[in-house]
């Protein structure tokens, strides 16, 4: 139905949306609907959680597992998460029917195994993220060190250099 026709129908007091919700209408080109994270592609790097303006994406540690959580009810569909994801793991769909009876239906989680620091055994990053860094940079002496041990490693290296 053309816009003019819709306006005319509205002025006449007639119903213009005859089809929906009885028939699902497809969203127009460029419509930003629900972003979905592909669990196979996600490496748990957390880049999307840093850019998300509404904290709809969060990376939390639960019992030694790193969990990427998506709280759909907080999402403002800006799609910045999809822009920064280094894995292109976030697909912006055209899904717009997001109402749910339970809050839990509006949450999605992806769990990642965590790597242990080879010095202090603390769990500090997802194994997949470290594998990706290794794939790009090759084997690095500090790769499997947590941030604290890495700092000690660099301070020791600087001190050695001064001697
Ligand atoms: S930025 Fe991409 S790869 Fe990194 S945690 Fe988010 S979805 Fe996963
Ligand atoms: S679309 Fe925007 S608000 Fe929604 S999860 Fe991505 S970055 Fe956050």
Predicted pLDDT at 20: 78
**DSSP label of 23:** S
Q: In this structure, which residue's CA is closest to atom 6 in ligand 1? A: 48
CA 125 remoteness from chain centre: 16
> Do residues 80 and 53 lie in contact, with contact meaning Cβ atoms separated by under 8 Å?
yes
Whether 130 is in the pocket of ligand 1, judged by its Cβ within 6 Å, is no
How far apart are alpha carbons 118 and 87 in whole angstroms?
Answer: 26
Q: In this structure, which residue's CA is closest to atom 6 in ligand 2? A: 81
Domain range annotation of the chain: 30-162
Backbone angles phi, psi at 40, to 5 degrees: -75, -35
Whether 82 is in the pocket of ligand 1, judged by its Cβ within 6 Å, is no
Whether 103 is in the pocket of ligand 2, judged by its Cβ within 6 Å, is no
Predicted pLDDT at 93: 96
Percentage of the chain with pLDDT > 70? 94
For ligand 1, the distance from its centroid to the CA atom of residue 105, given in whole angstroms, is 21
- 98-122 tens-digit pLDDT: 999 999 999 999 999 999 999 999 9
Whether the ω angle into residue 15 lies within 30 degrees of 0, i.e. cis, is no
How far apart are alpha carbons 110 and 107 in whole angstroms?
Answer: 10
Whether this model's pTM surpasses 0.95:
no
Mean pLDDT of the region 49-72: 96
How far apart are alpha carbons 39 and 128 in whole angstroms?
Answer: 12
| Domain spanning 30-162: CATH 3.30.70.20 | yes
Q: In this structure, which residue's CA is closest to atom 3 in ligand 1? A: 42
Whether 54 is in the pocket of ligand 2, judged by its Cβ within 6 Å, is yes
Whether 73 is in the pocket of ligand 2, judged by its Cβ within 6 Å, is no
């Amino acid at each position: 139905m053309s816009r003019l026709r819709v306006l005319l129908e509205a002025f006449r007091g007639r119903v213009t949306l005859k089809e929906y919700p009885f028939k699902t209408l497809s969203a127009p080109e460029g419509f930003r609907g629900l972003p979905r994270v592909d669990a196979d592609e996600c490496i748990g790097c957390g880049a999307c959680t840093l850019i998300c303006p509404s904290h709809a994406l969060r990376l939390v540690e639960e019992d030694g597992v790193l969990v990427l959580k998506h709280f759909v009810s907080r999402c403002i569909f800006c799609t910045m998460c999809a822009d920064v994801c280094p894995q292109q793991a976030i697909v912006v769909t055209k899904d717009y029917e997001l109402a749910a009876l339970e809050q839990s239906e509006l949450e999605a989680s992806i769990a990642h195994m965590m790597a242990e620091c080879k010095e202090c055994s603390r769990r500090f990053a997802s194994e997949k993220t470290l594998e990706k860094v290794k794939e790009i940079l090759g084997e690095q002496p500090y790769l499997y060190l947590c941030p604290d041990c890495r700092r000690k490693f660099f301070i020791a290296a600087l001190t050695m250099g001064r001697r």
